């Protein structure tokens, strides 16, 4: 799975040929660790429809500040380069799939 | 030996949070693994940053501002009331 950085973030989102689901996490955050395998499964299940990427908040202070990420995990859904929606905190697989299905 | 010390600290802090939760009419997450992992992360943040900052919120580096996210943070009661659990899932209704 692609890990975005402050350096490649804007170009990646702008050039993506599908909607992008971005999981913003931190290595010290237990709910982020719980969410991670679900996000990975979703990346596989939705690989024809969306691109799933991750971003380590500590490693990306500029992008984190730009999108005002203060709570983690925060998951963004980008469509045509813009944030279409987001959610914060751990959610079970089915809820995340519903979140995506409503936005595709 | 070091591991035993950490496990003891986790148990001690969990007991403190259980007492706090009981006094406020909610409880520590009954899923032990979740509660333990959060308490472990709190202790790690205390060691690294000096306070038990919520492991689900970014510390700004501003000591006054970050007081808001020392566990139990200023948001937890409202979150428990609204969502049935605090953002981190340490406390549940």
Half-sphere exposure (CA, 13 Å, Cβ side) for A22?
Answer: 30
Give the pLDDT of residue A37.
Answer: 97
Length of chain B: 93
Give the pLDDT of residue B4.
Answer: 87
Stronger pLDDT, B61 or A23, i.e. the higher one:
A23
**Kind and range of the H or E element at B28?**
strand B27-28
Q: What is the pLDDT of residues A51-77, one digit of tens each?
A: 999 999 999 999 999 999 999 999 999
pLDDT of B31 over the 80 cut? yes
B52 to chain A: which residues are within 8 Å by CB? none
Question: pTM (2 decimals)?
Answer: 0.86
Listed by start position, the domains of chain A span 2-101
Contact B39, B7 (CB under 8 A): no
The topology (CATH level 3) of A2-101 is Glutaredoxin (3.40.30)
CATH number of the domain encompassing residue B39: 3.90.460.10
Interface of chain B toward chain A, CB-CB under 8 angstroms:
34, 37-38, 40-41, 44-45, 55-58, 87-89
Q: Catalytic site residues of A?
A: 29, 32
Q: What is the rounded distance in angstroms from the CA atom of residue A30 to the CA atom of residue A27?
A: 8
Containing structural domain, residue B66 = 2-92
**Within a 10 A sphere around the Cβ of A84, how many other Cβ atoms?**
14
Give the pLDDT of residue B1.
Answer: 60
Count of domains in chain B? 1
Average of pLDDT values for B12-24? Answer: 97
Q: Is A2 helix (H, G, I), strand (E, B) or coil?
A: strand
Q: Is A19 helix (H, G, I), strand (E, B) or coil?
A: coil
């Amino acid at each position: 799975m692609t890990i975005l950085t402050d350096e490649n973030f804007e170009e990646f989102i702008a050039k993506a040929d599908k909607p992008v689901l971005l999981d913003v996490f931190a290595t010290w955050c237990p709910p982020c660790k719980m969410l991670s395998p679900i996000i990975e499964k979703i990346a596989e299940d939705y690989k024809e429809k969306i691109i799933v990427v991750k971003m380590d908040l500590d490693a990306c202070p500029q992008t984190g500040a730009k999108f005002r990420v203060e709570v983690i995990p925060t998951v963004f859904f980008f469509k045509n380069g813009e944030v279409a929606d987001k959610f914060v905190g751990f959610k079970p697989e089915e809820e995340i799939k519903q979140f995506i299905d409503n936005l595709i | 030996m070091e591991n035993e010390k950490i496990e003891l600290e986790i148990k001690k802090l969990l007991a403190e949070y259980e007492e706090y939760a009981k006094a406020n009419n909610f409880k520590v997450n009954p899923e032990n693994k979740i509660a333990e992992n959060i308490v472990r992360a709190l202790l790690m943040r205390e060691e690294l940053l000096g306070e038990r900052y919520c492991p689900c919120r970014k510390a700004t580096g501003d000591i006054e501002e970050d007081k808001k996210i020392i566990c139990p943070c200023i948001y937890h009661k409202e979150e428990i009331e609204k969502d049935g659990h605090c953002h981190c899932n340490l406390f549940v209704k």
